[in-house]
C-alpha cells in the first residue's frame, strides 16, 4: 500500500510540476533564510557557554542616580570575597588603553587590547595559556601571554612553549619584556584580547576613586543573587563611608547602589550598556520565522486550491474502501516529500548565501559543523512545517464525500475559500510590514548620515600612539614638528576621540550641587581640530597660563544639567580641583545617535583623568596623501617612542562604524522584503491561475454578452485588489507600533513619516495587479467557443 501511495504521490507531483516547483521553491527559499537566522541566533546566544561556571559568574556594577557602569575600583573584589562565603571567587580585569607595539627582530604585532587580570579573574574566566594557568609568585611578578596568531607572527618557527624576550615600542626604544607563552583568544567570548598580563594582584595602591576595573565574582550554585546584590550594595556604601564626615557626601553615598549582571547578559543586553544587539537579534529571528510562516501559508493555499483536481481520486478510493485516516497519511506523505526536497534545496541555497551573510554580520558561521544545533533543529522544523502546512489540506482532501464528487456536484467549501483569502491577506500584510520597515530604516539612516554632528570628522586623522602626553609641555615639541609638514592645519592630543566610545565620568560640584558628568582630558586645539562650535566664552589658549592648571570648558548639556546661568567665569569643582569655566561649546554627537549627548567637562589638567594618547590631526584635503607620506617618513624623529610604527585611521571611518548595526538591519529588511514579496507573488501567481481557470466559462459567457477585455481584467483583479488593500490596512497599525518602538531606541531620530505606509500599499497593489493580469491574459484572449463548445 505504501509503495502504491508513493507512486501516486510522485505521479501527482510530476503532473502538477508547475505548482510543485512553486511550492518547493518558495519553501526552500524561506527555509534557507530560516537556517541562516537559526545559525546566527545560536551563535549570538552562546557566548562564553564553554566556561564551566557560565551560570554562576556575575559582573559587579555600580548604579548612580543618573547612570550605570560596569567599572569598579580594585579593592572591591577582595572585600566582597572576604565578607560573603557564598562568593567562591572574585577577581578584576583592566582593558588596555593603547595599541601596544611588540617586536621580535623584524617581526611586529600590534596588540590593540593588552589586558590585565589578576589570577582569580583568570580562573573565573577560564583563561588557559598553552602551558596551563600558572599562579605568579610574589606580588609584583606578571605572567604575560600573547594570543596564538600574534605568537605565530613574532616566532614563525617556534616549536616549544618556552618563554621569549620581546621588544616594546620602537626598535631603538630599549624596552624589553618577557612573553611567557601563547594563549587561545576565544573570539566567541565577551572577554577578548590580543595579549594578557596575569598577576596575583593588580591595581595595588589604587583606592575606591579609581573606577576603571571590571570586577567578576563566581558564586555557589543556588545562591540567592538578589539577596547577595543587596548585601554587596550595603558593603559598598560602608566602604565609601569610612572616614567620611561631610553630611552631604554621606547622603550622596547612600544613594549609590550596586548590581550583579550575569555573564550570559554581557554580550546582548548588559545592564550598564546598549541592548541594541539584542533587539536586532530578536527582530532578525522574528523575520526568519515570519518568512517561513509565509512560505507555509503559500503551501497551504496552493494545496487547498488544488483540491478540486484530486476530488475524483478521493471519491474512487473511498468507494473502494479506503479510510479517511489512510488518505490523510497519503496526502501528508506527498507534502512531506515536497518539504524534504525543499529542505535539501534550502541547505544548498544557505551554503551559497553563507559567505555573504558572514561578511554582512562579521562572523564565521558554518552549516557543516559537528556540534551545530542545526542537525537536530532542521529535522524538527521539517516535521513541524509538514504538519503545519499539510495537516489542513490533507484533512480537506481526505474529507470529500464520494457520492457528491462522483455525481459531479463537487465544489470547495466556503470555509476553504475564506481560509485561502485570509491566508493571502496575512501574507501580503507581512510583506507590507517589511516594506514599511525597510523604508523607515532607510529614512533614519539617511537622516543620520546627513544630520549635523556638531563636529567635523572629515580630513581628521587619528594617529595610534603609545606615548603619554598628559603634560602639555611634553606634546609641544611633537606638535611643532607635525605642524611644519605642509597641509597639516592643526594637531592635538586627548584621552578620547569621538568614535562612540564612552569617556570616564566623575562627580563635579557646581554651586553646592554635585552631579556625575563625563570628562575628557584634552590639549590645545582640540576643539579647533574637530571644528566644534563655541557658544560662549573662549577655547583653551597657550596665551593663558591658567589653562594648563585649572581652566575648564563645558558643553550645553552640562549647563542644562546644573541649570547654570552665565557659567563662564564661575567655578566647578571635581577631583579636588577648582576649575574656572572659560567656555561653553555646543553639543556634538560623540556617542552617535542612539545616546543623547552627555554632560561633559573638558580640561587640560585632570588629576583623576586617563592617559592622553589619542593624537588627532586636521589635514587639507588636497594634501592628504603627501602629508601622510611625510608623517610616515618623519615619525621616528617626531615621536621616537613610536619610531617606525606609524599607523593611522580616518576619523570619519571610525565614526561610521557606529552605523554598522543599523546598516545590517537595513540589509536584513531589504532581503526580507524581497523574499516575502517574491514568495507571496509566487503563491499569488499560482492562486490566480487556479482562480482564473475556474472562471473560464464565466469569462467566455461575459465576452459573448459584450464585455471588453478591460472589464474582464477589472473583474478578475477586483477580488485580489480588495484582499491586498485589506492586508495593507491591517498591517499599518502593526508596522506603526513596531517602527515607532525601533525609532525610540534613538535619541536623535526622524518623525514617523506617512510616505512609507502609502508606498507599501502602492507597491503591493501594483505587483498584485501585474501578477494577476499576466495570469489572466491567457483566459481573456481565449476564444469563448473553446470554453463553451461542450455545453
**Picking from 308-322, 374-388, 506-520, 637-651, which range would have the lowest pLDDT averaged per residue?**
308-322
Q: How confident is the model at residue 215 (pLDDT cuts 50, 70, 90)?
A: very high
Which of 658, 679, 698 marks a domain boundary?
A: 658
Same domain? 573 vs 609: yes
Residue 675: per-residue pLDDT: 82
- 663-673, pLDDT tens digit by residue? 887 888 888 88
Coil vs helix vs strand at 456 = coil
- Asked if residue 221 is part of any domain, the answer here is yes
- 182-200, pLDDT tens digit by residue? 998 888 888 888 899 999 9
Same domain? 580 vs 598: yes
For 4, counting Cβ atoms within 10 Å of its Cβ (0-12 exposed, 13-18 middle, 19+ buried), the class is exposed
Cβ-contact 389, 423 below 8 angstroms: no
**Can you tell me the mean pLDDT for 358-376?**
78
- Asked if residue 729 is part of any domain, the answer here is no
Same domain? 305 vs 406: yes
- 76-86, pLDDT tens digit by residue? 999 999 999 99
Same domain? 381 vs 468: no
Average pLDDT, the chain: 84
Same domain? 543 vs 628: yes
Examine the pLDDT at 416 and tell me if it is beyond 60.
no
Same domain? 319 vs 254: no
Look at the block and give the residue holding cell 544639567: 561
Q: How confident is the model at residue 694 (pLDDT cuts 50, 70, 90)?
A: low
- Asked if residue 713 is part of any domain, the answer here is no
- Asked if residue 311 is part of any domain, the answer here is yes
**Can you tell me the mean pLDDT for 603-622?**
89
What are the angstrom distances between the C-alpha of 29 and each of 372, 375, 672?
A: 21, 19, 11
Q: What is the Cα–Cα distance from 339 to 322, expressed in whole angstroms?
A: 25
**Can you tell me the mean pLDDT for 472-495?**
93
Which of 658, 680, 700 marks a domain boundary?
A: 658
- Asked if residue 151 is part of any domain, the answer here is yes
**Picking from 133-142, 230-239, 487-496, which range would have the lowest pLDDT averaged per residue?**
133-142
Same domain? 349 vs 483: no
- Asked if residue 707 is part of any domain, the answer here is no
Same domain? 366 vs 494: no
Q: What is the Cα–Cα distance from 602 to 615, expressed in whole angstroms?
A: 16
- 228-271, pLDDT tens digit by residue? 999 999 999 998 888 777 777 788 788 889 999 999 999 888 99
Same domain? 233 vs 344: no
Pairwise pLDDT comparison (485 vs 723), residue with the higher score: 485
The residues near 568 (Cβ < 8 Å, ≥ 6 apart) are: 536, 537, 581, 582, 583, 584
Examine the pLDDT at 419 and tell me if it is beyond 90.
no
- Asked if residue 666 is part of any domain, the answer here is no
- 714-766, pLDDT tens digit by residue? 777 887 888 889 999 999 999 999 899 888 888 899 999 999 999 999 998 88
Which of 348, 381, 412 marks a domain boundary?
A: 412
- 722-736, pLDDT tens digit by residue? 888 999 999 999 999
Same domain? 64 vs 114: yes
Q: How confident is the model at residue 708 (pLDDT cuts 50, 70, 90)?
A: confident
Residue 121: per-residue pLDDT: 94
Domain coverage including residue 31: 1-45+297-412
**Can you tell me the mean pLDDT for 306-318?**
61
- 533-542, pLDDT tens digit by residue? 999 999 999 8
- Asked if residue 142 is part of any domain, the answer here is yes
DSSP, residue by residue, 269-331? --TTS--HHHHHHHHHHHHHHHHHHHHHHHHHHHHHHTHHHHHHHHHHHHHTT--HHHHHHHH
The residues near 202 (Cβ < 8 Å, ≥ 6 apart) are: 74, 92, 94, 116, 117, 118, 213
Q: What is the Cα–Cα distance from 723 to 736, expressed in whole angstroms?
A: 20
- 268-286, pLDDT tens digit by residue? 889 987 777 888 888 888 8
Same domain? 17 vs 78: no
| Phi, psi of 507, rounded to the nearest 5 degrees | -85, 130
Task: Give the chain's domain count.
Answer: 3
Coil vs helix vs strand at 124 = helix
Same domain? 616 vs 479: yes
Examine the pLDDT at 410 and tell me if it is beyond 50.
no
Cβ-contact 634, 417 below 8 angstroms: no
Amino acid at each position: 500500500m505504501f509503495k502504491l501511495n508513493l507512486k501516486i504521490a510522485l505521479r501527482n507531483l510530476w503532473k502538477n510540476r508547475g505548482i510543485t516547483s512553486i511550492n518547493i521553491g518558495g519553501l526552500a527559499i524561506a527555509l534557507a533564510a530560516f537556517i541562516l537566522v537559526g545559525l546566527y541566533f545560536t551563535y549570538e546566544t552562546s557566548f562564553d557557554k564553554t566556561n564551566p561556571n557560565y551560570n554562576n559568574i556575575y559582573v559587579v556594577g555600580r548604579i548612580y542616580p543618573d547612570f550605570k557602569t560596569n567599572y569598579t575600583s580594585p579593592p572591591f573584589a577582595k572585600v566582597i570575597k572576604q565578607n560573603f562565603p557564598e562568593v567562591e571567587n572574585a577577581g578584576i580585569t583592566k582593558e588596555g588603553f593603547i595599541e601596544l607595539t611588540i617586536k621580535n627582530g623584524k617581526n611586529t604585532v600590534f596588540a590593540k587590547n593588552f589586558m590585565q587580570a589578576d589570577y582569580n579573574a583568570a580562573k573565573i574566566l577560564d583563561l588557559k595559556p598553552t602551558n596551563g594557568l600558572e599562579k605568579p609568585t610574589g606580588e609584583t611578578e606578571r605572567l604575560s601571554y600573547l594570543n596564538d596568531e600574534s605568537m605565530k607572527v613574532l616566532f614563525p618557527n617556534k616549536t616549544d612553549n618556552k618563554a621569549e624576550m620581546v621588544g616594546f615600542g620602537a626598535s631603538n626604544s630599549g624596552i624589553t619584556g618577557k612573553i611567557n607563552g601563547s594563549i587561545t583568544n576565544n573570539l566567541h567570548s565577551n572577554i577578548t584580547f590580543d595579549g594578557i598580563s596575569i598577576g596575583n594582584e593588580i591595581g595595588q595602591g589604587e583606592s575606591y576613586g579609581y573606577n576603571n576595573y571590571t570586577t567578576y565574582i563566581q558564586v555557589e550554585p543556588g545562591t540567592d543573587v538578589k539577596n547577595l546584590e543587596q548585601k554587596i550594595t550595603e558593603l559598598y556604601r560602608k566602604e565609601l563611608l569610612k572616614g567620611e564626615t561631610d553630611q552631604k557626601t554621606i547622603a550622596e553615598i547612600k544613594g549609590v547602589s550596586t548590581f550583579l549582571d550575569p555573564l550570559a547578559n554581557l554580550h546582548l543586553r548588559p545592564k550598564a550598556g546598549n541592548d541594541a544587539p539584542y533587539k536586532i537579534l530578536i527582530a532578525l529571528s522574528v523575520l526568519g520565522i515570519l518568512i517561513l510562516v509565509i512560505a507555509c501559508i503559500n503551501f497551504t493555499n496552493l494545496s487547498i486550491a488544488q483540491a478540486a483536481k484530486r476530488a475524483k481520486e478521493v471519491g474512487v478510493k473511498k468507494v473502494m474502501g479506503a479510510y479517511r485516516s489512510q488518505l490523510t497519511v497519503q496526502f501528508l506523505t506527498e507534502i512531506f516529500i515536497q518539504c524534504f526536497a525543499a529542505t535539501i534545496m534550502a541547505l544548498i541555497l544557505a551554503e551559497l548565501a553563507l559567505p555573504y551573510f558572514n561578511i554582512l554580520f562579521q562572523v564565521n558561521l558554518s552549516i557543516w559543523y559537528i556540534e551545530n544545533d542545526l542537525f537536530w533543529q532542521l529535522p524538527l522544523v521539517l516535521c513541524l512545517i509538514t504538519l503545519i502546512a499539510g495537516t489542513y489540506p490533507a484533512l480537506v482532501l481526505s474529507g470529500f464525500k464520494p457520492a457528491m464528487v462522483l455525481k459531479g456536484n463537487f465544489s470547495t467549501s466556503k470555509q476553504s475559500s475564506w481560509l485561502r483569502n485570509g491566508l493571502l491577506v496575512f501574507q501580503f500584510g507581512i510583506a507590507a510590514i517589511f516594506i514599511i520597515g525597510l523604508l523607515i530604516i532607510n529614512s533614519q539612516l539617511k537622516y543620520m548620515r546627513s544630520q549635523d554632528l556638531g563636529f567635523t570628522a572629515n580630513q581628521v586623522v587619528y594617529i595610534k600612539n603609545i606615548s603619554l602626553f598628559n603634560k602639555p609641555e611634553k606634546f609641544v615639541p611633537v606638535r611643532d614638528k607635525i605642524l611644519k609638514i605642509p597641509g597639516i592645519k592643526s594637531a592635538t592630543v586627548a584621552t578620547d576621540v569621538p568614535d562612540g566610545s564612552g569617556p570616564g565620568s566623575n562627580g563635579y560640584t557646581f554651586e553646592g550641587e554635585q552631579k556625575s558628568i563625563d570628562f575628557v582630558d584634552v590639549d590645545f586645539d582640540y576643539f579647533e581640530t574637530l571644528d566644534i562650535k563655541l557658544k560662549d566664552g573662549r577655547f583653551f589658549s597657550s596665551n593663558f597660563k591658567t589653562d594648563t592648571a585649572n581652566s575648564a570648558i563645558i558643553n550645553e548639556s552640562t549647563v542644562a544639567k546644573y541649570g547654570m546661568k552665565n557659567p563662564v567665569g564661575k567655578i566647578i569643582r571635581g577631583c579636588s580641583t577648582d576649575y574656572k569655566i572659560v567656555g561653553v561649546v555646543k553639543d556634538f554627537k560623540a556617542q552617535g545617535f542612539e545616546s543623547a549627548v552627555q554632560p561633559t567637562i573638558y580640561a587640560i589638567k585632570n588629576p583623576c583623568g586617563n592617559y592622553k594618547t589619542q593624537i588627532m590631526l586636521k589635514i587639507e584635503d588636497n594634501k592628504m596623501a603627501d602629508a601622510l607620506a611625510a608623517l610616515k617618513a618623519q615619525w621616528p624623529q617626531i615621536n621616537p617612542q613610536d619610531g617606525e610604527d606609524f599607523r593611522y585611521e580616518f576619523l570619519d571611518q571610525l565614526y561610521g562604524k557606529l552605523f554598522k548595526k543599523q546598516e545590517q538591519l537595513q540589509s536584513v529588511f531589504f532581503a526580507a522584503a524581497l523574499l516575502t514579496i517574491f514568495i507571496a507573488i509566487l503563491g499569488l501567481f499560482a492562486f490566480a491561475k487556479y482562480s482564473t481557470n475556474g472562471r473560464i466559462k464565466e469569462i467566455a459567457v461575459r465576452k459573448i454578452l459584450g464585455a471588453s477585455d478591460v472589464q474582464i481584467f477589472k473583474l478578475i483583479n477586483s477580488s485580489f485588489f480588495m484582499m491586498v488593500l485589506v492586508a495593507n490596512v491591517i498591517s499599518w497599525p502593526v508596522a506603526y507600533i513596531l517602527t515607532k518602538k525601533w525609532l525610540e531606541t534613538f535619541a536623535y531620530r526622524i518623525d514617523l513619516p506617512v510616505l512609507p505606509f502609502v508606498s507599501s500599499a502602492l507597491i503591493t497593489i501594483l505587483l498584485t495587479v501585474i501578477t494577476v493580469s499576466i495570469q489572466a491574459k491567457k483566459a481573456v484572449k481565449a476564444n469563448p467557443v473553446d470554453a463553451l463548445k461542450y455545453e
